[in-house]
Amino acid sequence: GAGVSQSPRYKVAKRGQDVALRCDPISGHVSLFWYQQALGQGPEFLTYFQNEAQLDKSGLPSDRFFAERPEGSVSTLKIQRTQQEDSAVYLCASSPARGGYNEQFFGPGTRLTVL
Amino acid sequence: AQSVTQLGSHVSVSEGALVLLRCNYSSSVPPYLFWYVQYPNQGLQLLLKYTTGATLVKGINGFEAEFKKSETSFHLTKPSAHMSDAAEYFCAVSVLSGSARQLTFGSGTQLTVLP
Protein backbone atom coordinates (compact mmCIF):
# COMPACT_ATOMS: atom_id res chain seq x y z
CA GLY A 1 0.00 0.00 0.00
CA ALA A 2 0.94 3.64 -0.17
CA GLY A 3 3.32 5.05 2.38
CA VAL A 4 3.23 8.37 4.17
CA SER A 5 3.03 11.25 1.73
CA GLN A 6 3.75 14.91 2.31
CA SER A 7 3.07 18.01 0.26
CA PRO A 8 4.50 20.19 -0.95
CA ARG A 9 7.92 18.58 -1.15
CA TYR A 10 9.58 21.97 -1.35
CA LYS A 11 8.32 25.34 -0.14
CA VAL A 12 10.00 28.71 -0.36
CA ALA A 13 8.49 31.46 1.73
CA LYS A 14 9.36 35.06 2.33
CA ARG A 15 9.94 35.99 5.94
CA GLY A 16 6.64 36.84 7.56
CA GLN A 17 4.49 34.64 5.31
CA ASP A 18 2.28 31.88 6.65
CA VAL A 19 2.78 28.33 5.37
CA ALA A 20 0.80 25.09 5.61
CA LEU A 21 2.40 21.68 5.28
CA ARG A 22 0.30 18.60 4.67
CA CYS A 23 0.78 15.01 5.78
CA ASP A 24 -1.20 12.01 4.52
CA PRO A 25 -0.45 9.11 6.86
CA ILE A 26 -0.81 5.45 6.05
CA SER A 27 -4.50 4.58 6.07
CA GLY A 28 -5.69 3.36 9.44
CA HIS A 29 -2.67 4.52 11.38
CA VAL A 30 -3.72 5.85 14.75
CA SER A 31 -0.62 7.78 15.68
CA LEU A 32 0.87 10.70 13.80
CA PHE A 33 4.05 12.58 14.64
CA TRP A 34 5.69 15.74 13.27
CA TYR A 35 9.45 16.26 13.43
CA GLN A 36 11.70 19.15 12.41
CA GLN A 37 15.09 18.35 10.87
CA ALA A 38 17.53 21.23 10.63
CA LEU A 39 20.41 21.01 8.18
CA GLY A 40 23.03 18.56 9.39
CA GLN A 41 20.99 17.47 12.39
CA GLY A 42 18.75 14.62 13.37
CA PRO A 43 14.98 15.08 13.45
CA GLU A 44 13.50 16.67 16.55
CA PHE A 45 10.03 15.94 17.89
CA LEU A 46 7.40 18.62 17.45
CA THR A 47 4.00 17.14 18.23
CA TYR A 48 1.95 13.93 18.47
CA PHE A 49 -1.63 13.04 17.57
CA GLN A 50 -3.62 10.01 18.57
CA ASN A 51 -6.47 9.98 16.07
CA GLU A 52 -7.76 13.57 16.10
CA ALA A 53 -6.48 14.40 19.57
CA GLN A 54 -3.24 16.32 19.92
CA LEU A 55 -1.84 14.68 23.02
CA ASP A 56 1.62 16.20 23.05
CA LYS A 57 2.77 19.50 21.60
CA SER A 58 5.75 19.99 23.85
CA GLY A 59 8.20 20.19 20.95
CA LEU A 60 6.58 23.07 19.10
CA PRO A 61 9.21 25.83 19.21
CA SER A 62 6.85 28.78 19.47
CA ASP A 63 3.21 29.76 19.35
CA ARG A 64 3.67 30.48 15.65
CA PHE A 65 3.55 26.72 15.09
CA PHE A 66 0.16 25.04 15.01
CA ALA A 67 -0.85 21.51 14.00
CA GLU A 68 -4.20 19.87 13.48
CA ARG A 69 -5.67 16.53 12.48
CA PRO A 70 -9.40 17.22 12.52
CA GLU A 71 -10.69 13.90 11.20
CA GLY A 72 -7.96 11.67 12.53
CA SER A 73 -6.26 11.10 9.20
CA VAL A 74 -4.67 13.99 7.24
CA SER A 75 -2.68 16.43 9.33
CA THR A 76 -1.57 19.98 8.64
CA LEU A 77 1.32 21.80 10.25
CA LYS A 78 0.94 25.55 9.99
CA ILE A 79 3.66 28.08 10.64
CA GLN A 80 2.62 31.69 10.97
CA ARG A 81 4.87 34.68 10.28
CA THR A 82 7.75 32.48 9.17
CA GLN A 83 11.27 33.33 10.28
CA GLN A 84 14.60 32.30 8.78
CA GLU A 85 15.24 29.94 11.68
CA ASP A 86 12.16 27.97 10.60
CA SER A 87 14.07 26.77 7.53
CA ALA A 88 14.28 22.99 7.88
CA VAL A 89 12.86 19.73 6.61
CA TYR A 90 9.57 18.89 8.29
CA LEU A 91 8.96 15.16 8.58
CA CYS A 92 5.71 13.42 9.28
CA ALA A 93 5.53 9.88 10.62
CA SER A 94 2.63 7.56 11.33
CA SER A 95 2.30 4.42 13.38
CA PRO A 96 -0.42 1.81 13.61
CA ALA A 97 -0.27 1.66 17.40
CA ARG A 98 -1.33 4.17 19.98
CA GLY A 99 1.63 6.09 21.29
CA GLY A 100 3.90 4.99 18.50
CA TYR A 101 4.86 1.82 20.32
CA ASN A 102 5.49 0.15 17.00
CA GLU A 103 7.62 1.38 14.16
CA GLN A 104 7.05 4.91 12.96
CA PHE A 105 6.82 5.17 9.16
CA PHE A 106 8.25 8.39 7.80
CA GLY A 107 7.23 10.47 4.83
CA PRO A 108 9.76 12.11 2.48
CA GLY A 109 9.48 15.45 4.22
CA THR A 110 8.80 19.03 3.17
CA ARG A 111 11.86 21.22 2.78
CA LEU A 112 10.97 24.74 3.89
CA THR A 113 13.26 27.61 2.98
CA VAL A 114 12.48 31.02 4.45
CA LEU A 115 14.15 33.90 2.67
CA ALA B 1 15.63 13.10 29.62
CA GLN B 2 17.12 10.81 27.04
CA SER B 3 19.85 11.62 24.53
CA VAL B 4 21.78 9.96 21.73
CA THR B 5 25.39 10.50 20.71
CA GLN B 6 26.70 9.30 17.38
CA LEU B 7 30.47 9.32 17.25
CA GLY B 8 31.73 10.47 13.89
CA SER B 9 29.58 12.64 11.68
CA HIS B 10 31.34 11.20 8.61
CA VAL B 11 32.62 7.65 8.12
CA SER B 12 34.32 6.34 4.98
CA VAL B 13 34.90 2.68 4.22
CA SER B 14 36.04 0.78 1.17
CA GLU B 15 33.60 -1.44 -0.67
CA GLY B 16 33.71 -4.88 0.96
CA ALA B 17 35.07 -3.57 4.26
CA LEU B 18 33.40 -3.72 7.66
CA VAL B 19 30.95 -0.96 8.48
CA LEU B 20 30.84 0.20 12.11
CA LEU B 21 28.69 3.15 13.11
CA ARG B 22 28.75 4.05 16.79
CA CYS B 23 25.81 5.06 18.94
CA ASN B 24 25.66 5.71 22.66
CA TYR B 25 22.53 6.69 24.51
CA SER B 26 21.49 7.94 27.89
CA SER B 27 18.16 7.07 29.40
CA SER B 28 16.89 6.75 32.94
CA VAL B 29 14.50 3.98 31.94
CA PRO B 30 14.87 0.96 29.63
CA PRO B 31 14.81 2.36 26.12
CA TYR B 32 13.71 1.14 22.77
CA LEU B 33 16.56 1.69 20.29
CA PHE B 34 16.44 2.17 16.55
CA TRP B 35 18.64 2.68 13.53
CA TYR B 36 17.19 4.54 10.55
CA VAL B 37 18.75 5.21 7.15
CA GLN B 38 18.05 8.31 5.06
CA TYR B 39 18.85 8.52 1.36
CA PRO B 40 18.98 11.96 -0.27
CA ASN B 41 15.58 13.62 -0.57
CA GLN B 42 13.86 10.66 1.03
CA GLY B 43 12.31 9.96 4.39
CA LEU B 44 13.75 7.81 7.11
CA GLN B 45 13.65 4.06 6.64
CA LEU B 46 13.88 1.69 9.58
CA LEU B 47 16.92 -0.60 9.49
CA LEU B 48 16.38 -2.38 12.78
CA LYS B 49 15.08 -1.96 16.30
CA TYR B 50 15.63 -3.27 19.80
CA THR B 51 12.73 -3.36 22.25
CA THR B 52 13.17 -6.33 24.55
CA GLY B 53 14.62 -9.80 24.37
CA ALA B 54 17.66 -10.78 22.32
CA THR B 55 20.29 -8.09 22.44
CA LEU B 56 21.70 -8.85 18.98
CA VAL B 57 19.26 -7.51 16.45
CA LYS B 58 19.34 -8.23 12.74
CA GLY B 59 17.87 -5.80 10.27
CA ILE B 60 17.47 -5.25 6.59
CA ASN B 61 20.26 -5.12 4.00
CA GLY B 62 22.62 -7.21 6.15
CA PHE B 63 22.88 -4.74 9.03
CA GLU B 64 22.85 -5.74 12.67
CA ALA B 65 23.27 -4.03 16.02
CA GLU B 66 23.94 -5.17 19.56
CA PHE B 67 22.37 -3.60 22.63
CA LYS B 68 24.95 -3.40 25.42
CA LYS B 69 23.33 -2.07 28.54
CA SER B 70 26.58 -1.88 30.52
CA GLU B 71 28.12 0.30 27.84
CA THR B 72 24.88 2.15 26.96
CA SER B 73 25.70 1.44 23.34
CA PHE B 74 23.85 0.27 20.24
CA HIS B 75 26.48 0.20 17.51
CA LEU B 76 25.48 -0.66 13.92
CA THR B 77 27.59 -3.08 11.89
CA LYS B 78 27.65 -4.71 8.48
CA PRO B 79 30.37 -7.21 7.53
CA SER B 80 30.83 -6.04 3.95
CA ALA B 81 29.94 -2.59 2.64
CA HIS B 82 28.19 -2.10 -0.69
CA MET B 83 28.14 1.07 -2.73
CA SER B 84 24.39 1.21 -2.19
CA ASP B 85 24.95 1.59 1.58
CA ALA B 86 26.12 5.17 1.10
CA ALA B 87 23.58 7.26 3.00
CA GLU B 88 23.03 9.02 6.30
CA TYR B 89 22.34 6.85 9.32
CA PHE B 90 20.50 7.93 12.45
CA CYS B 91 20.41 6.22 15.81
CA ALA B 92 17.34 6.94 17.92
CA VAL B 93 16.07 6.17 21.38
CA SER B 94 12.40 5.90 22.26
CA VAL B 95 11.22 6.49 25.79
CA LEU B 96 7.68 6.81 27.00
CA SER B 97 6.94 10.49 27.50
CA GLY B 98 3.41 11.28 28.49
CA SER B 99 1.16 9.40 26.14
CA ALA B 100 3.63 8.48 23.42
CA ARG B 101 7.03 7.01 22.75
CA GLN B 102 8.83 9.98 21.26
CA LEU B 103 11.91 9.30 19.18
CA THR B 104 15.04 11.22 20.13
CA PHE B 105 17.60 11.11 17.33
CA GLY B 106 21.34 11.47 17.18
CA SER B 107 22.83 13.99 14.80
CA GLY B 108 23.54 11.35 12.18
CA THR B 109 26.52 9.72 10.52
CA GLN B 110 27.13 10.15 6.81
CA LEU B 111 28.53 6.90 5.39
CA THR B 112 30.64 7.07 2.25
CA VAL B 113 31.59 3.84 0.47
CA LEU B 114 34.72 4.07 -1.64
CA PRO B 115 35.20 1.86 -4.71
pLDDT tens for residues A2-43?
899 999 999 999 999 999 999 999 999 999 999 999 998 899
Q: Return left, alpha or beta for B12; rule: phi > 0 is left, psi -120 to 50 is alpha, else beta.
A: beta
pLDDT at A1: 55
pLDDT tens for residues A46-75?
999 999 999 999 999 999 999 999 999 999
Distance between CA atoms of residues B108 and B111, nearest Å: 10
Nearest 5°: the CA angle A31, A33, A36 is 175
Average pLDDT of each block of 10 consecutive residues along chain B (115 residues)?
90 97 89 92 90 91 94 96 96 81 91 96
- d(CA B41, nearest CA chain A) in Å: 7
Which residues of chain A lie closer than 8 angstroms to B90, CB-CB?
Answer: 42-43
